[in-house]
Amino acid sequence: MTAELARECARYAAMGWMRGTSGNLSVVTQRDPLRLAVTVSGVDKGEITAADSVVIDENGLAVDSDKVPSAEAGLHARIARVAGAGAVVHVHALAPVVAAEHWPDGVVLKDLEMLKGFGRHDHEEVVVPVVRNSQDMAELGDAFEKGFDPRTPALIVARHGVYVWGADLVQARHRLECLEWLLRFKVETRKDTFTGRHA
């Protein structure tokens, strides 16, 4: 599991979605009690190794380790518990953050083939929820849970980044890659609401 976390981090770092030491990944290692392996805080994700992870509990606290988990570990655990996710990916891709600036009440996606790769049908109207940023993971977790739709495996944190989840790290990655494309399309084709012209 830990080697897989390192490999996925390197992939995202190469894509420019984990700049500096930003972003974090987690994978569920057991359900009862809930335990996740999550990347540690403050490590360059392009240089992360299998040793740079820590097991956390359902509250995001390290279990039997003095390593410091990612600051967002508590939200990873909350998503895993509420959504039943096997893996959670948090990156700082630009398209989701820009989309949240334009549609702070949720980003509506419809009639786009790539929705199938995100786990939805292309004819469905999909709303990706947006929540206000906070350094309080309990507050973010409450906002996530309030707007949680089990059909939509993503959450945008305004002016921060995006969380996407799946049964495992590979499914979460595929969903994230498709969602980033969808949100980039949405942003780049948006129209000025006053003139009707492309902004």
Q: What CATH number does the domain containing 71 carry?
A: 3.40.225.10
Considering only CA atoms, which of 183, 174, 190 is closest in space to residue 156? 183
Say what the pLDDT of residue 197 is.
54
- What is the DSSP track for 50-83? TTSEEEE-TTS-BSS----B-TTHHHHHHHHHHH
Please indicate, yes or no, if residue 196 is contained in any of the structural domains.
no
Residue 198: inside a domain: no
150 token code pair: 């089990």
pTM to 2 decimals? 0.93
Does residue 147 sit within a domain? yes
Tell me if 81 is assigned to some domain. Answer: yes
Based on the structure, what is the number of domains in the chain?
1
Q: Is residue 155 part of a domain?
A: yes
Burial class (CB within 10 angstroms; exposed 0-12, middle 13-18, buried 19+) of 31: exposed
In a domain, 59, yes or no: yes
pLDDT of residue 194: 43
pLDDT at residue 122 in the model: 85
- How far separated are the first and last CA of the chain, in Å rounded? 44
Q: Compute mean pLDDT per 10 residues along the chain, 199 residues long, and list them.
A: 89 94 95 96 90 94 90 95 98 97 96 94 93 93 95 97 97 97 95 52
Helix, coil or strand: residue 107: strand
| 40 belongs to a structural domain | yes
Domain boundaries, position 121? 2-188
199 occurs within a structural domain:
no
